Amino acid sequence: MFSTPSTLTLDSQPIGRGTVQLLKGENGSGHGCRWGAYFIGPRSLNVIYWKYVTDISMAWQWTFALCTARLSRVGQERPHPGMNKSEQALSVLQGVIERGELTPGAMVSESQLMEMTGLGRTPVREAIQRLALSYMVRIHPNKGIEIPAISVEDQLSGLEVRRAVEVLAVGLACERGAAAELDAMRKLAGQLTGDFTLRRYTETVRETHRLIIEAAHNPYLGVLMTPLQALSRRFWIMHVRDEQREIRHGGRLHADMLNAIADRKVERASAASLALNDYLVQFTLAVVAKMASRPHSPKSK
């Protein structure tokens, strides 16, 4: 007799049982009403829960989704000038994970990552350790390196923390940013209004985050924000469908935040940061709603 797996996946993305508890307010977090308020109609949460407890055959079909790693050499990354080899390896590997070129569930070896980056064992090993701290890889001794899946619950939980930390970061950047740093932000904000490929847009967003962290002049902020921002980007890239529409909207939000910091307007920068976070939350909840509305097989009698 088969039992329903503890984690189901749709499009190779997991929806953990905790997500249902989070949305229904059953996990003691007190967030059920907040997240659940975005869902209207009798099918939404009930359909998600029904997929967990009744549809065993479809559950196994989802769970056994094929994960394959694309291990071609990556030669198009553009590391920031002045990066050492460890930072270059980190930039390349973070990019291929965010873009899904190493798919969730894939197992890779250190030598394969060395081949992908074109860098030696030491910088790649250091990059792997940093990625593990950011929850972007999971190290299994004597087995390999796993690219973990990212769930809706992961994204919502990360955005909750990012919301508070990023407001602090933009406020400090307004107060502490050097003239050259603010000029760089204003220049980048102008670029964010142009046309982008998905790859170039995500690289520009990563540069936006880097500039804000540097201008805040607090090293602990980088430790907190970098993995949270990487998590958000990875989830967004995996689920974005209308790329150009989302890029235009996201570009405006990032540009508003950069321009406010460059003008040293703390309240405006904080409001822009919150608007960006609201967009990412709405995007995530729209993904859940779309998953819930998909046709499913009838209950077996």
pLDDT tens digit string along 81-103? Answer: 577 888 889 888 988 888 888 88
Q: Pick from 123, 146, 169: which residue ends a domain?
A: 146
157 and 286 both lie in a single domain? yes
User: Domain containing 52: what range?
Assistant: 7-66
Residue 12: band (very low, low, confident or very high) from pLDDT cuts 50, 70, 90: very low
Q: Pick from 121, 146, 171: which residue ends a domain?
A: 146
Number of domains in the chain: 3
111 and 164 both lie in a single domain? no
What mean pLDDT is reported for the chain?
77
Question: Looking at the domain assignment, is residue 23 inside a domain?
Answer: yes
What number is the average pLDDT over the span 57-86? 46
Least confident stretch, 156-160, 162-166, 235-239, 295-299: 295-299
* Alpha helices (H) along the chain: 17-24, 32-36, 44-53, 56-63, 85-98, 110-117, 121-133, 152-176, 179-191, 198-216, 219-239, 243-262, 266-293
